[in-house]
Structure 1
Amino acid sequence: MAFQDGGSIGYGSDDSLQDLADRSSPILKQSKIFDNRGIHLEKIQFYGFDMDYTLCEYISPEFDILAFNLAKEFLVSSFSYPQEILKLEYNPEFPCRGLWFDKEHGNLLKVDQFGRILMCCHGFRLLEGEELRKLYPHKIQRKEEKRIYIMNTLFNIAETHLLASIVHYMDNREDAMVTTEGWLLGSEKKLKTFKQMFEDVRGSIDYLHDEKLLKQKTVENLEKYIKKDERLIGVLTRIRESGRKTFLLTNSDWWYTNHIMTFLLQNNSNEKESWLDYFDLTIVDACKPTFFNKGTNFKMVDTCTGEKVDLNSKPVHERPVVYSGGDHHTVSNLLGADGPDVMYCGDHLHADVVKCRKLSEWRTLLIVPELEYEMSVGLEQGELMNQLQNLERICGQVEPEDQDGFRRRIKDGVKKMDRSFAKTGSIFRAGTRLSYFGSNVLAWADLYTGSVCNLYSYSLQHRFIGTQILLPHELQ
């Protein structure tokens, strides 16, 4: 069922909510939850939530610009990059999530699930044709761990742009000679490889997170960097009032988690004494995806000092217990869950969804904050998508000597569609072909949506049917 925006429906029993279903308005497309596989919410008794980019949605591009600028400053101060680096500016129209960085050639790649290259950028320059084939025979790059780094999360957006910016800057330096490995710099012609540059940028990003610099800057100006959604309290309240349980499972530490969740869930009109009261179980320092495999040491957190203490330690206060680490078996046992009755909501495709589905029985709801924008652009480009599909169908039916013209038209159409999303295109596809990210969403996420607060629009009795997939011979 759907709730009207700004409506005043209270949080009654599931039966009373279901009675209202026939009188409610259709769910707006941007508030929909999309189903790859069937899930009956009536059977879900435990709802787990990640924090960063799930319960806590960062405001873009402000948050991305903050990370971009902090990383630039660290490159200059700690890795001796030239001061000109500080002049690099963040352009929110360039990056998309899910690109691969090739450390050997310094390129950003968008590939499909088999490693076929859909788009390649060297800095801000698009590589095509023979130039592309020279670097990647057959236009294929496999997922080699030593060579490829996948920009899985929204935290990687600033990093994606910074890598492209530095490659572009270095390529255009007057004292730099571009080589197949990187650049020969200065009069001494000292080699700086693409791999070394990547490791410098990666080290800068890690520093921002490990030393909490990015988090500290965020906490200093929460209103600027974090979006508040009034539906969030409603989502958590309705789940718990139905008799189901909620838990918070985040990789963030207690200090940062407490600041963020206090900002999101506590206000002057709030009846709860603490944001912890919205959850039956709270786990920080989860170390996903390791959490879904061997896990880490399971401890309690002293919420006054932030220190981790043994489980048999006597609490020094009466606040709800907060845990650190552990694994999915431990959490399931603490909740009294069987496995398939748990649904975990998170934004990290690899750590929150793929590993969760591979290594546990929990069901998954993937949060894709870019989804509303992607849908709006997709709607505008719907006719172009139909044209591309028709062109590809016709191209496959004509004689080989007649295909060149169709292929050029398809190529031009794909470029036009990609540019309507971002300079690097859509996160889900290039033209009619699914990206690596899009393929994994389809393969692993049971459900996906643009905001975890979209749960507010659905009854806890709702049945998601799942996408009916037919093989080509079944379509005849």
Structure 2
Amino acid sequence: MEETHGTVVSNNNSSRHLRMDFSHGSQEPCIWSSPEGGHVMDIGKHIFCNRSLNMKNIVAVGFDMDYTLAQYKPETFESLAYEGTIRKLVYDLGYPRELLNWSFDWKYMVRGLVLDKKRGNILKMDRHKYVKVAYHGFKELSKEEKVCTYGNTLIRDAFDEPDYALIDTLFSLAEAYLFAQLVDLRDNNPGNFPDSTDYASMYKDVRAAVDLCHRDGTLKQMVAKDPKRYINEDPSIVPMLKMLRDSGRSTFLVTNSFWDYTNIVMNFLCTSRTVDGTRKCNFDWLQHFDVVITGSAKPGFFHDDSRANLFEVEPKSGMLINTDNGSPMPQVGDISPSSSLKARNESCRVFQGGNVGHLHKLLSIESSSQVLYVGDHIYGDILRSKKVLGWRTMLVVPELEREVELLWKLRDTRKQLRLLRNQRDLIEDKIHHLKWSLKFDDISPREKQKLSSELDALESQREQVRLSHQEAQRENHQKFHKVWGQLMKTGYQNSRFAHQVERFACLYTSQVSNLSLYSPDKYYRPSEDFMPHEFDIIPM
């Protein structure tokens, strides 16, 4: 156990809870610094560490908005995206009208899957890029089919673009589900499609339809009308932002959404209710940030050589004012900058576009390692900011909360699985030893008969243990997800998604507001790495 600034932190992965040292509970949003914040932190709220990170070295903490600060409800938001994409396919791209009767199972797809555009397959693979689970549309591929398709090649497939698509964000779940439906439709009704329409072209059409939905503003207009229907409320966000700023850090927001939509969403998340229970849309939420950059066009934003212009946004009107590295440029016919930019100390500054170089200058960042950026997109937020800039990173994985809770509940089952696996190994070793012994001619007939009987008994025992092990594995797999199993695992290996999290995220957690449960000066330390040869030697 490690005690840090009044907080007792468990670094033992088997610990169910992280207990704070305050004694009284509270109905208010619980933050680390609150004297009423006594509570037992559920394991699903932990922040997990891949690489050491001392928060005392962080001078600026930045956030993405969509699916980071704003957690969308998949049952409503993803369904809205799915229905909008269907309409675009039918009315704009000429797909059969029967698609309008389709429905969306928002629980079916998970992050970390890979779409094989050419073959119409959806894959889940381990960190070594071996395909462990595969479906053609909604039909599961057999072990033989998987090996024949993805295992019998002279050169290993990279499983990357352009032949594959990565489902690495929650925004992609609806399009993956729709792609599977179209694969089944084409297979069962080939006459409904032109001969030139293959799986890859269908996926291209789905992507085009999704882009059309976002481009015409349909989705965001619906969310703007009723944010509560589509976005989860999190009363801990404002206390978290206040705590970070009170600790002396700058805070910033970098989002691909434009100002009008950003203002609506952040108002919903940060603005308190009026007396009648309604929400008043204003700019009060800006007090929690030093800089807000909208329309950032990530991941391109993270390249300092990006030539995107930086415009300052006038919040009330939404008008854009051109700038020179953040300084307002005099307008034609006017010798002074716009008067609306004079009150610099009253609120944070809002921009559109630009690149990371502009952001560093606006925040007076001297070293990229002084920045912690929190996002949900492994490629758009985490990989680029980590590899290109050297920013410290925290990935938000909402699915993690349920996964960690299940891992705790199923800990005895997982022990039993390990025992069954070890038992299989032991029996197979004995079988191999006996088979080798039977090859020698100097064994007497009587001894050979005895060994043969032992071998038959062991092979029968092996089959029983194999079936028990496979059934237990299947049941454990389905408790996490009926189709894809555990998010971070495929069998006994980390999944490809888990491998990406481990490589590029310094920290990862289920909700951005979990930061409020830890000291703003905490030193995050990873658990010890173990090689396979160490597990049976070093006490765990």
Q: Aligned-pair distance for 1:156? A: 0.6
From the superposition, tell whether residues 408 and 310 of structure 1 become closer, same or farther in structure 2 (CA, over 3 Å). farther
2:494 to 407, 426, 434: 434
Q: Aligned-pair distance for 1:123? A: 1.3
Partner of 2:359: 331
Is this contact kept in 2: 1:346–1:353, CA < 8 A?
Answer: yes
Q: In structure 2, the residue corresponding to 1:310 is in which secondary structure?
A: strand
Is this contact kept in 1: 2:106–2:174, CA < 8 A?
Answer: no
Larger mean Cα displacement after TM superposition, 378-387 or 260-269: 378-387
Q: In structure 2, the residue corresponding to 1:251 is in which secondary structure?
A: coil
From the superposition, tell whether residues 203 and 316 of structure 1 become closer, same or farther in structure 2 (CA, over 3 Å). farther
Q: In structure 2, the residue corresponding to 1:192 is in which secondary structure?
A: coil
Partner of 1:231: 236
Partner of 1:120: 134
Q: For residues 478 and 129 of structure 2, what CA distance do their matches in structure 1 show?
A: 21
Q: How does 1:58-457 map to 2 (within 5 A)?
A: 58-138=72-152, 141-173=157-189, 176=190, 185-186=191-192, 190-268=195-273, 274-293=284-303, 294-295=305-306, 296-311=308-323, 312-313=328-329, 314-315=337-338, 317=340, 318=343, 320-337=348-365, 338-397=367-426, 398-399=428-429, 409-422=468-481, 423-457=483-517
Q: Aligned-pair distance for 1:301? A: 2.3
Q: Aligned-pair distance for 1:55? A: 0.7
Q: In structure 1, the residue corresponding to 2:521 is in which secondary structure?
A: coil
Q: In structure 2, the residue corresponding to 1:145 is in which secondary structure?
A: coil
Superposed CA deviations along residues 252-307 of structure 1, whole A, max 9, x for unmatched, are 11121111111111224699952111100111112222122233332222334434
Q: For residues 316 and 411 of structure 1, what CA distance do their matches in structure 2 show?
A: 71
Q: For residues 310 and 88 of structure 1, what CA distance do their matches in structure 2 show?
A: 46
Is this contact kept in 2: 1:96–1:425, CA < 8 A?
Answer: no
From the superposition, tell whether residues 408 and 307 of structure 1 become closer, same or farther in structure 2 (CA, over 3 Å). farther
From the superposition, tell whether residues 88 and 407 of structure 1 become closer, same or farther in structure 2 (CA, over 3 Å). farther
Partner of 1:6: 26
From the superposition, tell whether residues 453 and 203 of structure 1 become closer, same or farther in structure 2 (CA, over 3 Å). same
From the superposition, tell whether residues 334 and 193 of structure 1 become closer, same or farther in structure 2 (CA, over 3 Å). same
% identical equivalent positions: 30
Is this contact kept in 2: 1:427–1:435, CA < 8 A?
Answer: yes
Is this contact kept in 1: 2:124–2:133, CA < 8 A?
Answer: yes
Q: Aligned-pair distance for 1:241? A: 1.8
1:53 to 48, 56, 67: 67
Q: For residues 216 and 52 of structure 1, what CA distance do their matches in structure 2 show?
A: 15
Q: Aligned-pair distance for 1:332? A: 2.1
Superposed CA deviations along residues 376-434 of structure 1, whole A, max 9, x for unmatched, are 33233333333333344444453376677666555444433332222222321123221
2:58 to 37, 44, 55: 44
Q: In structure 1, the residue corresponding to 2:529 is in which secondary structure?
A: coil
Amino acid at match of 1:428: M
Q: For residues 269 and 88 of structure 2, what CA distance do their matches in structure 1 show?
A: 30
Is this contact kept in 2: 1:36–1:446, CA < 8 A?
Answer: yes
Partner of 1:458: 518
From the superposition, tell whether residues 189 and 244 of structure 1 become closer, same or farther in structure 2 (CA, over 3 Å). closer
Q: In structure 2, the residue corresponding to 1:340 is in which secondary structure?
A: helix
Q: Aligned-pair distance for 1:471? A: 2.4
Is this contact kept in 2: 1:369–1:450, CA < 8 A?
Answer: yes
Aligned CA RMSD, in angstroms, stands at 2.8
Larger mean Cα displacement after TM superposition, 301-310 or 77-86: 301-310
Is this contact kept in 1: 2:313–2:320, CA < 8 A?
Answer: yes
Q: Aligned-pair distance for 1:309? A: 3.1
Partner of 1:179: none
Give the number of the structure whose alpha-carbon radius of gyration is greater: 2
Q: In structure 1, the residue corresponding to 2:526 is in which secondary structure?
A: coil
Amino acid at match of 2:522: H
Q: For residues 316 and 409 of structure 1, what CA distance do their matches in structure 2 show?
A: 75
Q: Aligned-pair distance for 1:189? A: 6.4
From the superposition, tell whether residues 396 and 289 of structure 1 become closer, same or farther in structure 2 (CA, over 3 Å). farther
Is this contact kept in 2: 1:389–1:432, CA < 8 A?
Answer: no
Q: For residues 100 and 150 of structure 1, what CA distance do their matches in structure 2 show?
A: 5
Q: Aligned-pair distance for 1:454? A: 0.8
Is this contact kept in 1: 2:30–2:517, CA < 8 A?
Answer: no
From the superposition, tell whether residues 405 and 253 of structure 1 become closer, same or farther in structure 2 (CA, over 3 Å). farther
From the superposition, tell whether residues 155 and 298 of structure 1 become closer, same or farther in structure 2 (CA, over 3 Å). same
Is this contact kept in 2: 1:343–1:365, CA < 8 A?
Answer: yes
- 1:31 and 2:45 are equivalent in the alignment: yes
Q: For residues 240 and 65 of structure 2, what CA distance do their matches in structure 1 show?
A: 14
Is this contact kept in 2: 1:413–1:431, CA < 8 A?
Answer: no
Q: Point out where structure 1 has 5 or more consecutive residues left out of the alignment.
A: 177-184
From the superposition, tell whether residues 211 and 467 of structure 1 become closer, same or farther in structure 2 (CA, over 3 Å). farther
Partner of 1:181: none
- 1:472 and 2:472 are equivalent in the alignment: no
Q: In structure 2, the residue corresponding to 1:51 is in which secondary structure?
A: coil
Superposed CA deviations along residues 340-362 of structure 1, whole A, max 9, x for unmatched, are 22111111111211111111121
Q: For residues 168 and 159 of structure 2, what CA distance do their matches in structure 1 show?
A: 13
Q: In structure 2, the residue corresponding to 1:246 is in which secondary structure?
A: strand
Superposed CA deviations along residues 123-171 of structure 1, whole A, max 9, x for unmatched, are 1111122222232234964223110100110101111111112222332
Q: Aligned-pair distance for 1:27? A: 2.0
Q: Aligned-pair distance for 1:464? A: 1.4
Superposed CA deviations along residues 182-227 of structure 1, whole A, max 9, x for unmatched, are xxx25x9634200011011111111112222111111122110011
TM-score computed with the length of structure 2 as normaliser: 0.78
